[in-house]
Homo-oligomer: A and B are copies of this chain.
Amino acid sequence: MAPVLRRLGRFSRLTADEFDQVAAQVATRRRWRAGTVLLAEARATGPHFVIAGWACSQRVLRDGRRQIFDFVVPGEGFGFEAALPGSAGVNVLALTSVETVEAGALLAAVRGGPPGGLWRAIRALRLEEEARRMDHLVRLGRLTAYERAAHFIVEMQRRVTVPEARSFPMPLTQEAMADALGLSVVHLNRVLRQLRGAHVAEIRGGVATIHDPKALAAAAVLAPAAEAPSGPA
């Protein structure tokens, strides 16, 4: 449960009770193999946290084209907004082998009780997801391929590492990244080579490494979606 507690702890300090409450969910741990559809219209799995492995939410068109909406990294969850995945052809797919725990009990507890630290943390997690989606729209609509790749790496650094580390796991195939960034695999590959050649950043063997943070940030154009502001509800 460590990844979940770390991720939630970014937004809000949890009380000891809340901490235990989250940790207790480890009893619902489940393992899925890569390629499994975790959530779809037919398969109405409830809300889950991912504690190991990577997943994505996506839509596949009839002709095979695919758009990845977002990735789910350890500590993050899916299926929180009752309406979205499942409907509108959106589904959640395990990209690596994945371990999850159920989040339904926590969500219910948080909804019933008074707004506490856990409430704020879960809310912030969802707001961050929303903000990320806005970034994603700008990325797809207005950034060049090079800028998209740079921005993507910066975004992932913020999500996966805390505090920010130069090197972090990135177990995605180039095909998955390309389908997220709206590019062809071939072109993404070339763009990654450019980033590598310029000693800005590289992705190799499931690990991303940032060599030149300043240059990378400059290429990313946008500041990546930060933690959502903690304004009133």
Chain A residues packing against B (C-beta within 8 Å): 59, 61-63, 65-67, 69, 81-84, 87-88, 90, 127, 130-131, 133-138, 140-142, 179-182, 221-222, 225, 228-229, 231-233
Contacts and interface: CB of A to CB of B under 8 A. Distances in A.
A142 B232 contact: no
Contacts of A67: 137-138, 141-142
Contacts of A61: 138, 142, 221-222
Contacts of A222: 61
A127 B84 CA distance: 8
Contacts of A136: 137
Given A141-B140, A228-B87, A81 B130 contact: yes
A180 B180 CA distance: 19
Contact of A84 (B134, B137, B232, B233): B134
Central interface residue in A87, A141, A142, by most chain B CB within 10 Å: A141
Contact of A133 (B133, B141, B142, B232): B133
Given A65-B142, A141-B180, 6 more contacts: A84-B134, A87-B131, A87-B229, A88-B135, A141-B179, A141-B181
Nearest to A127: B83
A114 to B, nearest CB: 16
